Amino acid sequence: MLEIELTLPEIKTGMYARPYVAIWVEDENHQPIKTLQLWVGKDDWLKDLRSWWRKIGRYDRDRVDAVTSATRPAGKYHFLWDGINDNGEKIEQGTYTLYVEVVREHGGRDFFGQNLELDESSFSHVLKAKHEIGKIKIDYKVE
């Protein structure tokens, strides 16, 4: 089980807009296997999540519709991933990469990638905060 804690910082600015967020996992061949979260306002702005859009968004409209939810205000958010891919299949043990992309209208863009070895060993990672996104904590627990 992979647990992700994501923090959206409060940013003081005159033209603040809630960020668009994409969180997904790719296998060791750089093939996307699961979109975990997708927070957007209007579909017209999906393309602003450039890395996610080029890999996944423009190719699979049904999957986009299935995972899309509203943007969120500043705060801490928790997600769990059970290791099931977008096709409903349990993934094999191996090397994967978790990506987090955050972009804000009238703001900036932050992009994280963290390699994960999903096998028989539990682990934790903490990714340092950037401007548009606070720290990200990743915990993998073997069940």
pLDDT of residue 104: 86
**Distance, CA of 76 to CA of 119 (rounded, Å):** 27
User: Considering the entire predicted model, what is its pTM?
Assistant: 0.91
Domains of the chain (ranges; CATH) run: 2-140 (2.60.40.4070)
Instruction: Give the type of residue at 139.
Output: D
Alpha helices in 1-143 (DSSP H): 50-52, 61-67
Give me the mean pLDDT over the 8-29 stretch. 90
Task: List pLDDT tens digits, range 61-97.
Answer: 677 777 788 889 999 999 999 999 999 999 999 999 9
**Distance, CA of 72 to CA of 94 (rounded, Å):** 32
The overall average pLDDT reported for the chain is 89
**Distance, CA of 121 to CA of 39 (rounded, Å):** 31
pLDDT of residue 95: 97
